[in-house]
A = this chain, B = another copy of it.
């Protein structure tokens, strides 16, 4: 049987695992793919660091991806360039592509999909979202007969590790980040993770698949976790909630202001401690899916790491190889629905607002009056610290019913300017994620 020849771009943690598994499980992979999978070459920037790969090594990535004896290109370099140019080149040359590159897919996925279509080859990227967790294939294929209403998940292990450890120990954000860095869960420059960009890329990919609509990273509202304090975690706990950085993709039915639309957003939110996502701790990932007929589903597992990511890459590689052997192609992207992306201001969620105010009679009434004036309905308001001698300051916590983002923002703007308000501690969204028993 003619082998399927694989070019590997990049040979870091994931790439080395891919090479190892291709070698160690060669017989099993060949049986499943219908042909042996052979490494044709490995393109790296510094070949001397990978001397054990011998003749397979090259620093000429462009040459490798267009070589006649290459059938499939596996890209695990990451980042936009040179990955984009190399993959477009590979697709143009009729090579199928397997990639784990969420940033590239979220920025320019449609261009890659079009190039794959033009050449009639496969473009697979299960490893780009939630590592080893089979998620994209279930969304695209298993749920193809259903209507997905919401995808909400913990898709970034670094931030989940930080928030879990703040929650477990009461640590500050800075201390928890330091611990994560020391243990290797956070990179030296953690911004892609803690500012939410990594999760936002994944949200764009998930929303595109779930709603058959092109959603790019630029369409995703993104807030990170730098501003989350130990006080926020404690406030969540007092409400029977935990704080998780969520990637939320939702379909919203048509209403008077908009046709049916989709929303994709990333922010830290309070969720009920009884929700299955609340129990997902440490560096694990989990994604909660709601579909009209299937109901609620959850997928859980390791979202990062060399071996888990390599498992997802190899699953795709076997699929691509099998398609090659049979002379076919896997299911394509589709963006037939082309739903508009809902502006963030029109989004309706619940909020937890915490304020430091002057400790005197009538302040609570002034504050709640401002919410009412902006049409934001209050579910609960609580004042603490009254008369306890802490320099005339009291803390007011307001939890709203579902309200429009724009109305809430306007309310908070006004509150911040009031004489009786010393400061706005935090504004956190509360997401009930479709659980019953949580008032809307």
Contacts and interface: CB of A to CB of B under 8 A. Distances in A.
Interface of A: 17, 21, 25, 28-29, 31-33, 126, 132-134, 137-138, 141-147, 212, 276, 279, 291-302, 305, 307-308, 310-319, 322, 326-329, 331, 334, 336-337
Contact of A301 (B33, B296, B312): B296
Contact of A302 (B142, B147, B294): B294
Contacts of A132: 291, 293-295, 297
Given A133-B297, A137-B138, A319-B331, A32 B144 contact: yes
A336 B33 CA distance: 12
B144 A126 contact: no
A124 B137 CA distance: 15
A301 B311 contact: no
B311 A294 contact: yes
B293 A307 contact: yes
A128 to B, nearest CB: 13
Contacts of A311: 143, 145-146, 291-294
A294 B319 contact: no
14 contacts: A21-B145, A31-B337, A32-B334, A134-B137, A134-B143, A138-B138, A144-B318, A145-B314, A145-B315, A146-B311, A294-B312, A295-B307, A298-B299, A328-B329
Given A132-B293, A297-B300, 6 more contacts: A292-B307, A293-B308, A293-B311, A294-B312, A298-B298, A299-B300
Nearest to A126: B142
A302 B146 CA distance: 14
Q: Which of A25, A138, A296 lies at the interface centre, i.e. has the most chain B CB atoms within 10 A of its CB?
A: A138
Contact of A29 (B145, B301, B316, B329): B145
